[in-house]
Structure 1
Amino acid sequence: MINVGIIGSGFIGPAHLEALRRLGFVQVVALCDSELSQAQEKARQLNIPHACASVAELLAHPDLHAVHNCTPNHLHAEINRQILRAGKHVFSEKPLCMTPQEARELVALAERAGVVHGVSFVYRQFAMVRQAESMMRAGSLGRLFAAHGSYLQDWMLLETDYNWRVDAALGGASRAVADIGSHWCDTVQFVTGRRITEVMADLSIVWPTRKASAGGSQTFVHDPHARYEDKPVSTEDFGSVLFRFDDGSRGSFNVSQVSAGRKNRLTFEVNGSERSVAWDQEVPQQLWIGHREQANQLLTDDPGLLNRDVADSAHFPGGHIEGWPDAFKNMMAQFYRAVQAGNMPERPLFATFHDGADVMYIIDAIVKSHQQRRWIRIER
């Protein structure tokens, strides 16, 4: 068994735990949170044998092989440093860190440590996203012309919607782009096999001041009796980005956390000289394939219908529902197969610190483009 520790017990930590338990050969032996009582209570609820209140204590746990960093954004860089210096395999929530400088440092640390390193870009793990990537790599789409799409949510639609991510000191200089645009960029770069090299961005803050609950009520919880205090907002709610790939092809995408009715709608379309493909995360088991001179197709994730190199990413016969938790399991399975082998694969399907850093460079360029009102080249 591979022994794992998780740092952070909010929404995403238990999601990591569930996926790891489904693998069968990984066990979570310790949970860390900033307050010992909270860590102990959460560990009891989740049936994790040990709880601690410091990263150092977690890293000192006997026979610990890997650590998952599931903390808020501003803690990612320092905790990732600690894990790497302890020589543990590390799986980090995204974003990898807060700045391009931190990203370069963490990549160098990971390479020197010689450990397996991953970042939680989960959308590349859906069976139909992998099918699109396989088709692109095999040449069945032809020459890449363009890619476009969006990632739309509505959880920040109201003036009274507030979360730690709104605070730039905790969430970073970018919010919508860094939080969900990062997923879009990673997914589309994975599918196309191309790198975004230049961006032109226009970002928008629709609530320059938000009303935060003085009692600190949880995100997504409506309290009609809450008292509110005004909080200035410096990070974007909406953004539009034009971009260029390294092969000269073009693209665009929108991100929004204020699109009423859109809960978690990541969509992309890739146009090639032979055919197109399109995918919608809210209908994740279908891949639209567009043709010029024959009827369009709607491919579903029946393992018998997928390309042979991606069939293992769909786990049940056609017609059985699979979604985000199953993609999360795919991601963990790939990462822990590498941990079992003891080294990084030559061509990992899971996102690595290199991929996490690459997206940080894109986010940095998008912010600069908006501020300077011009095209900005990605500095890798």
Structure 2
Amino acid sequence: MTSFSHLRAAIVGTGFIGTVHREALRRLGIDVIGVLGSSPSRSKEKSAEWGVARAYFDYDEVLTDESVDVVHITSPNDQHFEHARGALTAGKHVVCEKPLAMNSSQTAELAELAASTGLVGAVNFNVRFYPQVHEMRERVANGSVGKPYLITGSYFQDWLLYDTDWNWRVEAARGGDLRVVGDVGSHWFDLATFVTGQRIVEVMADLTTFIPQRRRPTGEVATFGSATGPTVDYDVGSEDAGSILLRFAGGARGVVSVSQVSAGRKNAISFELNGSSASVAWRGERPEELWIGHRSEPNQVLLRDPSLLSASAAAISGLPGGHAEGFENGFKALYAAVYTDIAAGAPSAAPRYATFADGHYESLIVEAVGRSARTSSWATVGDGSAPLQGRGDTP
């Protein structure tokens, strides 16, 4: 494995996902030398908790720290654009949480900037890096599934089920106009395009807000955290759930449902592809299992085992069969791919991680979903002429 011990990272954002980034980097032997929180006191608190040498008090300190090679951006969505642009301009590689920015004008600018600088710009679509997801991708690519016909699935959560549940993502100014579609739907879209190698070109969306008014706490609430203290009424403009019909460039059809108000579903992403020869299906809450469906022979359940997987899937499988891998291992595998390119000094020809170009494309899908929901009609996804990253082919 490539050594990353000479690379230095800074993390911007100290919530749930920032902690996940830090732990994955630690496991890879990458030195996190500084952290920036939402306030100087938060920076100090996390610096001490994480054992990080430096607590930054503002973003300019991150940008002017010449020892920082890579900036991990896990701040709220409305800060991604300025943070990513600043880091690239300062000559630093970037790993940014999704969405890459608040709209496609911003994501286009970032994608162009990353390309012009030659720096690595990665978007944190971690679902790509489950071994069984790579296995599905390989089975589509090698033809064993046949021509993709139907692609279906869902991404359900329940952490915003009650009107007392709150997070900054509910505020359109901070989270974006589309909450569930942008937050978890984008993960599913990226999964579908990564596995199939086909772009989504048209969408038909039905979005619903079941809780039009929430009780907003007067203080901050961490992601997946519980609100306490006094509240004020807040009129919600973003969706709680939705269903979206999809048309793919290669002729496949699809449908996905997304929700953050589905009781009992904590982080339930599901994906099924029915092809002309076979089917494959995978669920994120049972990540070790890949279901393979047949017409004229018994169906199969392939458990994650590097000795039984394709070379691509085996390469990101860190443990032997029977030793369960999960959510955190996907981040480790993702950053191993990203930092391999960073160690080389530039993006590889066909990176399997999501690039800033992919982040821009995801923004175009989300915006098309919004247009479709407003007009109750099919909407065309914006420019999809660029090849899908990580496959090296053009739909």
TM superposition score category, shorter chain reference: over 0.9
- Per the alignment, residue 377 of structure 2 pairs with 374
Unaligned regions of 5+ residues in structure 1, if any? none
CA distance in 2, matches of 1:350, 1:77: 19
Paired amino acid for 1:326: N
Selected match of 2:288 from 285, 288, 308: 285
1:2 aligns with 2:38: no
Selected match of 2:114 from 110, 121, 124: 110
- Per the alignment, residue 162 of structure 1 pairs with 166
CA distance in 2, matches of 1:82, 1:308: 38
Paired amino acid for 1:331: L
- For normalisation by structure 2, the TM-score amounts to 0.94
Paired amino acid for 1:87: G
- Per the alignment, residue 305 of structure 2 pairs with 302
> What are the within-5 Å matches in structure 2 for residues 227-238 of structure 1?
227-238=230-241
- Per the alignment, residue 311 of structure 1 pairs with 314
CA distance in 2, matches of 1:206, 1:266: 21
1:45 aligns with 2:68: no
1:286-344 CA distance string (max 9 Å, x none):
00000000000000111000012321111111110100000110000000000011111
1:366: how far off?
0.0
- Per the alignment, residue 83 of structure 2 pairs with 79
CA distance in 2, matches of 1:73, 1:180: 13
1:47-104 CA distance string (max 9 Å, x none):
0001112111112113221111110000001111100110111110100001011111
CA separation of 1:143 and 1:64: change in aligned 2, threshold 3 A:
same
- Per the alignment, residue 104 of structure 2 pairs with 100
1:178-210 CA distance string (max 9 Å, x none):
000000000111000100000000000001100
1:226: how far off?
3.1
1:348 aligns with 2:351: yes
Selected match of 2:123 from 119, 122, 136: 119
- Per the alignment, residue 386 of structure 2 pairs with none
Selected match of 1:364 from 353, 359, 367: 367
> What are the within-5 Å matches in structure 2 for residues 56-205 of structure 1?
56-205=60-209
Paired amino acid for 1:90: V
The CA RMSD measured in Å over matched residues stands at 1.1
1:144: how far off?
1.0
Paired amino acid for 2:56: C
CA distance in 2, matches of 1:323, 1:234: 34
Contact 2:88-2:114 at 8 Å conserved across structures: yes
Paired residue secondary structure (1:97): coil
1:145-192 CA distance string (max 9 Å, x none):
110100000011001111110000000000000000000000111000
1:26-56 CA distance string (max 9 Å, x none):
2111111231121011101100001112111
- Per the alignment, residue 12 of structure 1 pairs with 17
CA distance in 1, matches of 2:266, 2:370: 24
Paired amino acid for 1:232: D
- Per the alignment, residue 330 of structure 2 pairs with 327
1:21 aligns with 2:26: yes
Paired residue secondary structure (1:299): strand
- Per the alignment, residue 390 of structure 2 pairs with none
CA distance in 1, matches of 2:284, 2:305: 17
CA distance in 2, matches of 1:178, 1:63: 33
CA distance in 1, matches of 2:69, 2:119: 10
Aligned length: 378
CA distance in 1, matches of 2:259, 2:217: 23
Unaligned regions of 5+ residues in structure 2, if any? 1-5, 384-395
Identity over the aligned pairs, expressed in percent? 43
1:214: how far off?
3.0
Contact 1:142-1:274 at 8 Å conserved across structures: yes
Greater Cα offset, 2-11 or 30-39: 30-39
1:250 aligns with 2:253: yes
CA distance in 2, matches of 1:222, 1:316: 35
